Amino acid sequence: MKSYSIVDDGKEITEIHWAITLVIVHHHAALVIEAIQGDSFLVKLCDFMPTQPIPISPKEYLEYVKTNNSIMPGSVRVDDLSNCTHDYLFSELKKRYKDPSSMSLKTWVRPKEEIQTILDEIIAEKKNPPLYQASGDVMIGAKAHNCITWAEKKLRKIQIINEPSIYGKIIDYTVGAIPEKHDPTQRSYGYGYGGN
């Protein structure tokens, strides 16, 4: 059995090749994992956040990072959206992240074993999540993650990305530093990371 990604319909998914997508909306990142197992098309929406809410506007968030960089408990979410459609997935992203007009996406297809390793790690982290720190692990001596550095660590684990963290670009907040905006009604995607 094979299918095409509901995030990027140019990417083919099979039982031996799964897809993983990095989604960034303003200052938040998530991973979407798509897989075929038997007759089922699996979709997992995964992200990491602090257990205590933080301001959601980019301007407020940047101020928060500057004034409150303490380490706090983190929380990992894994939502099962299996057998959903492109439109349903994007409606969920819109509900969760409020303003998808600045959504950036990049999808990669890799061997099942590599992406399964990431999914297993994420599921284990639901029970024992890492610590959260607004600056993430980009500072010297950092011992915690933010949502972006958490997602990037997963992608580095299977050598999807090797570039320095995009988080610094986001913190500088020229959100134009996040390449290409995504219109959820279109299927044109771009992102600042290389690779396929």
The string of pLDDT tens digits covering residues 155-187 is 888 887 666 555 544 444 333 333 333 333 333
Residue 194 lies in a domain: no
Pairing of strands 71-80, 131-133: antiparallel
Number of domains into which the chain is organized: 1
Residue 94's pLDDT is 78
Residue 49 has pLDDT above 60, yes or no: yes
Any idea what DSSP says for residue 176?
A: G
What pLDDT digit, counting tens, does each position of 105-115 carry? 889 999 999 99
| pLDDT-above-90 percentage for the chain | 33
Q: CB-side exposure of 180: number of CA atoms within 13 Å?
A: 15
Q: What is the pLDDT of residue 43?
A: 94
- 180-187: list long-range contacts, CB under 8 Å, 24+ apart: 180/104, 181/101, 181/102, 181/103, 181/104, 182/100, 182/102, 182/103, 182/104, 182/105, 183/101, 184/90, 184/93, 184/94, 184/100, 184/103, 187/8, 187/9, 187/86
Instruction: Please indicate, yes or no, if residue 32 is contained in any of the structural domains.
Output: yes
Q: Show the domain range for 85.
A: 2-177
Rounded distance, CA 52 to CA 180, Å?
30
Is pLDDT of 189 > 50?
no
User: Is the residue at 185 inside a domain?
Assistant: no
Q: Which residues of 141-157 are buried (b: 16+ CB within 10 A; e: fewer)?
A: ebebbbbbbbbbbbbee
How many CA atoms does the CB half-sphere of 106 hold within 13 Å? 18
> Which of 23-27, 75-79, 116-120 has the weakest average pLDDT?
23-27
The residue among 196, 193, 195 whose CA lies nearest residue 24 is 193
Residue 181 has what pLDDT?
Answer: 37
| Coil, helix or strand at residue 3 | strand
- In a domain, residue 190? The reply is no
Task: State the Cα–Cα distance between residues 124 and 118, nearest whole angstrom.
Answer: 10
Q: Is residue 184 part of a domain?
A: no
- Which pTM was predicted? 0.79
Residue 149: inside a domain: yes
Alpha-carbon distance 18 to 123, whole Å? 17
> Residue 195: inside a domain, yes or no?
no
Residue 183 forms part of a structural domain? no
In the structure encoding, which two tokens stand for residue 141, read together? 């001596």
Query: What pLDDT shows up at residue 50?
Result: 87
